[in-house]
Amino acid sequence: MLPKARGIRINLPGVKSFDAFVTATDPTAPLIFQWENPVSWYVYMNGSSPKQWDLPGRTARVTGLAYQPTMWGEKPSAHHGESVFFLLEGAKDTRAKGLALFPEILKSELHGVRSVVEAFSKAGSIEEVEKPACGLRFDRNGVRTIVIVESEMGLNTYTLDRWE
């Protein structure tokens, strides 16, 4: 369906698995994660609502699709799982606090300073950008997601409920 899609929308009612990509503000900063790029993501443990992500309607336009950062590059970090992000137009976290630096994703040589990293993360805040990369995360747990795809044949609705 993707090669012929003219547009994709996500049905928002019932969705609670919103996420945001985050990265270093200094492009020359050393890599600190267990994978080979400076991008991570965060999600709220008990979920979050479309309203929290500034998504007021019943659907949101998908502006891009991306695998989670641990899957990028030549050496994917499989023990962090697999997921696809549906990046959504206008999505932005309205209550983000901290830097979303979690000790469990850091390189092993940084584990000795976990408490310092946690304190730094809690005290800081994610820098706002004009177009943040936020959206819905779909993983192997099969969070039920309804996708509306526009193609030359019209609108088709798909229910995603498993990773295959």
pLDDT tens per residue, range 14-66: 888 899 999 999 999 999 999 999 999 999 988 899 999 999 999 999 999 99
Reply yes or no on whether the pLDDT at 149 is more than 70: yes
What is the pLDDT at residue 142? 63
Range of the domain at 18: 2-95+128-160
Closest Cα partner for 57 from 25, 88, 94, 98? 88
58 inside domain? yes
10 inside domain? yes
Q: Measured between alpha carbons, how far is 73 from 81 in angstroms, rounded to an integer?
A: 15
Q: Measured between alpha carbons, how far is 93 from 80 in angstroms, rounded to an integer?
A: 23
119 inside domain? no
Q: What is the mean pLDDT of the chain?
A: 90
Report the number of distinct structural domains present in the chain: 1
Check residues 70 and 79 and name the one with the higher pLDDT: 70
- Residue 93: pLDDT band (50, 70, 90) is very high
31 inside domain? yes
The residue whose two tokens read 């998908």 is 62
Percentage of the chain with pLDDT > 70?
Answer: 99
109 inside domain? no
Reply yes or no on whether the pLDDT at 77 is more than 90: no
pTM above 0.85, yes or no: yes
Task: Report in angstroms the alpha-carbon separations of 19 from 82, 93, 119, 132.
Answer: 14, 8, 22, 11
What is the pLDDT at residue 78? 80
Mean pLDDT for 160-164 is 79
